[in-house]
Amino acid sequence: MPLDLVCPAGNLMSLKAAVDHGADAVYMGFRDNTNARAFPGLNFDEAQAAEGLRYAHDRGRRVLLALNTYPQPDNWPRWTQAIDSAARLGMDAVIVADAGLMRYAVKNHPRLRLHLSVQGSATSYEAINFYREHYGIQRAVLPRVLSLPQVENVVKNTEVEIELFGFGGLCVMVEGRCLLSSYCTGESPNSAGVCSPAKAVQWKETPTGLESRLNGVLLDRYGKDEKAGYPTLCKGRFEVAGETYYAIEEPTSLNTLDLLPEMLAMGIAAIKIEGRQRSPAYVAQVTRVWRAAIDAVKQNADGFKAMPGWHAELNKLSEGQSHTLGAYHRPWK
**13 vs 50 by CB, closer to another protein:** 13
Shortest distance in whole angstroms from residue 213 CB to another protein: 10
Question: Which residue intervals of the chain are DSSP H helices?
Answer: 12-20, 46-58, 76-89, 99-108, 125-135, 148-156, 182-185, 189-192, 260-265, 280-299, 308-317
Shortest distance in whole angstroms from residue 202 CB to another protein: 6
Shortest distance in whole angstroms from residue 278 CB to another protein: 6
Give the pairing type, strands 209-214 and 217-222.
antiparallel
Shortest distance in whole angstroms from residue 285 CB to another protein: 7
Helix (H, G, I), strand (E, B) or coil at 81: helix
Angle between helix axes 125-135 and 99-108 (nearest 10 degrees) is 30
**150 vs 277 by CB, closer to another protein:** 277
| Spatial contact of 293 and 225, defined as CB atoms under 8 Å apart | no
**258 vs 313 by CB, closer to another protein:** 313
- Residues found near another protein in the complex (CB under 8 A): 10-14, 39-42, 198-199, 201-205, 210, 222, 224-229, 277-282, 284-285, 316-320
**7 vs 114 by CB, closer to another protein:** 7
Exposed/middle/buried for 245, CB within 10 Å: 0-12, 13-18, 19+?
Answer: exposed
**106 vs 292 by CB, closer to another protein:** 292
Shortest distance in whole angstroms from residue 305 CB to another protein: 26
Question: Which residue intervals of 90-241 are DSSP H helices?
Answer: 99-108, 125-135, 148-156, 182-185, 189-192
Shortest distance in whole angstroms from residue 282 CB to another protein: 4
**11 vs 129 by CB, closer to another protein:** 11
**131 vs 282 by CB, closer to another protein:** 282
Shortest distance in whole angstroms from residue 243 CB to another protein: 25
Residue 224: DSSP 8-state: T
| Spatial contact of 62 and 55, defined as CB atoms under 8 Å apart | no
CA torsion 90-95-98-100 (nearest 10°) is: 20
